[in-house]
Amino acid sequence: MNATVPLDELYDNLDQQGIEVFHCSTKEVVAVAEPSGYLCIDPQKVESTEHEREILIHEEGHFATNTFYQLDSPYTVREHQENIAVRYGFKKYYSVEKLLSLMEEGYTEVWQLAEQLSVREEYVQEMLDYYTQACNVNFAQELAERKRAREIENDPITPETLQKLQGIAFSCDGPLTETSAQDILKLVEIVKERSKER
């Protein structure tokens, strides 16, 4: 699965929205977005292509959600507008489904996800924090449920086995696969044999 969002695609998305992206020198900020459709990026402050990708996604979020603020806006207002832009980018380019798909492939560490998405680790951590804290996503539980669903799909219980289980009392964690049902039937036979020996 190629999870990287190409830089060309990000520039094209901004262009299609009528946003002119250009380079200019700035004293402090890396990028400045102007609501009428201009985005200035200081290439001297862009640390890497990963950083550039994050900047473009973030600034697209400002334009798409119209979250701009004035220089003298209170910190809470600025922070609120920044959060909206950041979350827009997460949802558009790095959905929960995309992250879960990567995790199912074995990329579960922050650094592994960062490599697969071609972004920095801090960005991935912020993304995971947002999904787990603000959206209540439990990635471990989601992965366990998907794994169990695959097991059931790949090893469905047969009607014959289901019939054999009728009337047998047992407890089992989650839906049965054919293999787990056979384990239960085996256990029933062992119990019957032991009962005879008493």
In angstroms, the CA 144 to CA 33 distance is 42
Element (H, E) at 156: none
Query: CB atoms < 10 A from the CB of 40, how many?
Result: 18
Split at pLDDT 50, 70, 90, the class of 1 is: low
> Is a pLDDT exceeding 80 seen at residue 120?
yes
pLDDT at 83 over 70: yes
Over range 11-37, report the average pLDDT: 93
Query: Average pLDDT over the chain, rounded to whole?
Result: 90
Q: Are the CB atoms for 85 and 61 separated by under 8 Å? A: yes
- What tens digit of pLDDT does each residue of 42-59 get? 999 999 999 999 999 999
Domain ranges of the chain: 1-93, 94-153, 155-197
Average confidence (pLDDT) over 166-179: 72
State the DSSP H helix or E strand holding residue 1, giving kind and residue range, or none if neither.
Answer: none
Determine the pLDDT at residue 172. Answer: 66
Q: Give me the pLDDT at residue 195, please.
A: 77
Residue 90 CA to residue 128 CA, distance in Å, equals: 10
- Rounded-to-integer distance, Cα 74 and Cα 71, Å: 9
What pLDDT, on a 0 to 100 scale, did the predictor assign at position 133? 96
Residue 61 burial (CB < 10 Å; 0-12/13-18/19+)? Answer: buried
> What φ, ψ does residue 22 adopt, rounded to 5°?
-145, 165
Total-model pTM: 0.78
Task: Considering only residues 150 and 20, tell me which one the structure prediction assigns the higher pLDDT.
Answer: 20
Looking at the domain that runs over 1-93, which CATH code has it been given? 3.30.2010
